[in-house]
Chains A and B, each alone.
Chain A
Amino acid sequence: MKVAVLQFPGSNCDQDAFHLFASGLKLNTRYVWHKDTTLGDVDLVVVPGGFSYGDYLRCGAIARFSPVMKAVQAFSQQGGLVFGICNGFQILCEAGLLPGALIRNASLEYRCITCALKVEASTPTFNPETLGATIKLPIGHGEGNFRIDEAGLARLEANKQILLRYQNNPNGSLSDIAGIRNEAGNVFGMMPHPDRAFERFHPSMDGLKVATAVLATKFPQLIKRTA
């Protein structure tokens, strides 16, 4: 199992994401620079958090046109696993790999807290049975307010594409949405940080379960490791 963590100018959770997979899950993990046009041999692409390109214009708007994103588009179209965290989620929405968009928090505040999240029954590996009914993950964002039109929300609900919902909505997100997947079930995105929840000194270690649930989409044998 091989993991690639993308690096954009302004990414600042790339090392956190790297260690979640390299140290937390003991997987072969490497960085891929935003100017690279190929991903190489890889099973999961992680789009990490941060402020790619300074969040200029809109969060993720510029990163979306990075050379590496063409390779990520092609990889996802072939069914490859893609996981966007925080700014990575914003980039995947801007790139159209996930539906919807993320706007300024309703409070206008940058929120940096640990959130209780309700786990939705979304996929055979991402559900309350494998993760627990509620998990705790830190958030740190100013623009995590998920928005989508009514028809789009209805599709998300009907296809069980919602992964996580906030128990106490910190940002005004529509339907308390904290994370979603694409319809095909190979592209995942969330504002909370599993990459800040895998060491004993972190607020929780639920990040390991979340990362495992994403990987287990293609490697179901993984579920036994943490269950």
Chain B
Amino acid sequence: MKISVIVTPKKNVLDPQGVAVGHALESLGFPKLKTTRVGKLIELEIEAVDSPEFRARLDQVCKDLLSNPVIEDYRYEIISK
């Protein structure tokens, strides 16, 4: 199974990287940006069967390790079975 975990800075948390990237985009003449946020994409490939138990374990590692709930949100997508 292939899974993509997407980790983004929380909406209300300052994202200095995103601000800098936004400035760079503007200096390239890109249309005025409302926001630019920089996050992480974590790709997992594992031998597992999709089940409620598996999803619960996945949520747990997303909360414990892959993201820090104080400053980040996460979501994941099952890319292929």
| Chain A residues within CB distance 8 Å of chain B | 57-58, 61, 65, 93-94, 99-101, 103-108, 145, 147-149, 172
* Contact (A147, B65) CB under 8 Å given A101-B70, A103-B71: no
Please name the residue on chain A nearest to B67 by beta carbon. Answer: A58
Enumerate chain A residues within 8 angstroms of B66, measured Cβ to Cβ.
Answer: 57
How many pairs of residues, A versus B, come closer than 8 Å at their CB atoms? Answer: 39
State which of A61, A105, A107, A145 has its C-beta within 8 Å of the C-beta of B68.
Answer: A61
B48-75 with Cβ < 8 A to chain A: 65-66, 68, 70-71
State which of B14, B16, B70 has its C-beta within 8 Å of the C-beta of A148.
Answer: B70
Give 7 closest A-B pairs by Cβ, nearest first.
A101-B70, A101-B71, A104-B16, A106-B16, A108-B16, A108-B20, A101-B68
| B16 engages A145 (CB within 8 Å) | yes
Bound form: Cα–Cα A172–B40 in Å: 22
Interface size, B (range) = 10 to 19
Main secondary structure of the interface of A (DSSP, over half): loop
Enumerate chain B residues within 8 angstroms of A100, measured Cβ to Cβ.
Answer: 70
Bound form: Cα–Cα A61–B50 in Å: 27
Q: How far is the CB of A178 from chain B (nearest CB, A)?
A: 17
Bound form: Cα–Cα A11–B16 in Å: 25
State which of B14, B20, B40 has its C-beta within 8 Å of the C-beta of A147.
Answer: B14
Q: How far is the CB of A171 from chain B (nearest CB, A)?
A: 9
| A61 engages B65 (CB within 8 Å) | yes
Enumerate chain B residues within 8 angstroms of A145, measured Cβ to Cβ.
Answer: 14, 16
Bound form: Cα–Cα A163–B21 in Å: 34
B33 interface contact, C-beta 8 A: no
| B17 engages A104 (CB within 8 Å) | yes
Bound form: Cα–Cα A172–B14 in Å: 9
Enumerate chain B residues within 8 angstroms of A99, measured Cβ to Cβ.
Answer: 70
State which of B12, B13, B40 has its C-beta within 8 Å of the C-beta of A103.
Answer: B13
Beyond the given A106-B16, A148-B70, please list 10 additional residue pairs across the A-B interface where CB-CB is below 8 A: A57-B66, A58-B68, A99-B70, A101-B71, A103-B9, A103-B13, A145-B14, A147-B71, A149-B70, A172-B14
Q: How far is the CB of B25 from chain A (nearest CB, A)?
A: 15
Bound form: Cα–Cα A100–B16 in Å: 17
